[in-house]
Structure 1
Amino acid sequence: MQPTGNTILITGGGSGIGAALAHAFHEAGNQVIIAGRRQAALDAVVADHPGMAAVTLDVEDAATIPTFAQKLIADFPGLNAVVLNAGIMVVEERIDLKIAEATIATNLLGPIRLAHALLPHLQAQPASAILTVSSGLAFVPLAATPTYSATKAAIHSWSLSLRAQLHDSNVEVIEIVPPAVQTDLMPGHAENPNALPLADYIAETMALLRQQPTPPEIHVERVKYLSEAAQRGEFESVFRTLNPH
C-alpha cells in the first residue's frame, strides 16, 4: 500500500482505533473519509482535521450499503482504499441470540457487504487496498465474548481467501490484527493497564503499514502472544491463561 496520496474510507472512524487511524492517515497526506453511526462523534473528529470528511453509515443495515457506496464513489471518485474497522464487542455470559446476530451483522456481514459494493470501483483504480481489521482473539478466543471472537476468526479467514482471489489484481488485501488496546470498545478497556496504549498501538501499526512492500498482515509485537500461539505450540496454555476456570 502506498503510504500517502490515497483517498481512504475508514468505517468506525468516530472513536477508538478508527479515529486514531484516521488521524494518522490524514497526517501522512491522505484524503480521509470517516464513517460511523454517530454523527456527533464523526463531527468531533473532523473538527480537529481540516480537509477530513465524514459520512454516516450503519454497517449493520444491509439495505443502505449499495446506495452509500454509490454516493461515496460519486463524491470521492479517487477512492482507492477502505479500512473495514467498524465493530462491536459485547460480553455474552450465555448464548444471547440478539447480541450474537448484531455482532455478526456488524463485524462480519458489514465488511463483506461493503467490500462487495466497493470492489468494482477499487479494481478500476491504478492501485488500491482493502484493509480488514481482525483481532488477536481471531487466533485464541475469549470465552466471555464468543461471537466477537468468532467473527474476528472469520474475518481472518475471509481476508486470506480474498487476498488469494485478488492476487493477480491491483487490489492489496491487508489484515490489521490488534491486541487489546486502550479504547472504549468495551467498558473498562480504556483504563485497562494490561491493554496497549492507543497511541503506541497506532505508531507501531503505521510503521508496519509504511513498509514497502506492505506486509499482508499487520501484527504488532503485543498481539503475537495470541496470534502466534499455535505456531509456538502454546495454543492450549495461552487459551487457559486467557480463559481461567
Structure 2
Amino acid sequence: MKTRWSAFNIACVFLGFAFLYVPIIILVIYSFNASRLVTVWGGFSTEWYTALWHNTQMLEAAWVTIRVGLLSATIATVLGTLAALALVRFARFRGRLLFSGFVYAPLVMPEVITGLSLLLLFVAIGFDRGFWTLTIAHVTFTMCFVAVVVQSRLVTVDRSLEEAAQDLGCPPWKTFFLITLPVIWTAVASGWMLALTLSIDDLVISSFTTGPGATTLPMRIYSQVRLGVTPEINAICTILIAIVSVGVIISGILTKRQLVRRERDERMAAAASN
C-alpha cells in the first residue's frame, strides 16, 4: 500500500529539518562575512579563514585535537573490536553479563559523571593530567560505540567460513586476520570514524581530564565564545562541520557497500544451492 504524505506531515518534516539545520547554515554563511559583527552582513570575504591560519592558539588546539582523536580512535577500535568478538564468538563465559555491562555503560552514562570519575582516578593514582590522560578518557567513552558497531556486523557473519578454515588447520588468530577481519572491515572502519568524530567533538569529558598544554579545539572555541562570537569562530566551526560531514558520508558509503555486497553474496549462494 502506497503511503501518501499529507500537508501536515510535510510541514512537520520541514520544520524539524529547519530547526536542526538552519542555524548551521547561518553559521556557515556568516563565516564568509566581511564584517567583524556576526549579526551584520558586510559582504563576502575569506579573511577570517586567513586570520584563523595565523591564530597560533587555535592551531595548537587543533593539532592536539587531531593527535588525540587519531590515537584514541585507533586504540578504541582495537579494544572495541576485541570486546565485540568476545561478546559474539564467546557467548558463554563466566562474567559475561558484567563484562557487557562495563562495555556498554559509557553509552548511557552522563558525560559529567564519566569525566568526574576519570578525574578522581587520575588524581588518586597521581597521574598528571595532560595529553595522555585526555587520550585515555577519549578511549574510555568511544570504545563502547566501536563495540556496538562491530558487534552488529559480527552477528550476521556466516561462521561456516571460519569453521572451515579451522578444520583445515588454520589457527584461531590466523582465521581472524584472514577470514573474519576482511568480512567485517567496513564495520571496523565505520567504528573508527565514529570514534574519531566523537573524540573531535567532545567538550565535557575533555574539560575534566585535560591539563597544561593539552587544550582541545572544542575547549578553545568554548572559552572564546564566552567572550563573544566572532567570525573567526564561525570559520573554525565551519571547518569542523565539513570534517564531521565527510566522516559521516564515508561511513555511510562503506556501510551501504557492505550491505550491497552481503545481499549479492546471499543471492549467489541461494542460486548455487538451487
TM norm structure 2: 0.22
Relative CO higher for 1 or 2, CA cutoff 8 Å, sep ≥ 6? 2
Larger radius of gyration: 2
Structure whose residues are more often strand by fraction:
1
Normalising by structure 1, we get a TM-score of 0.24
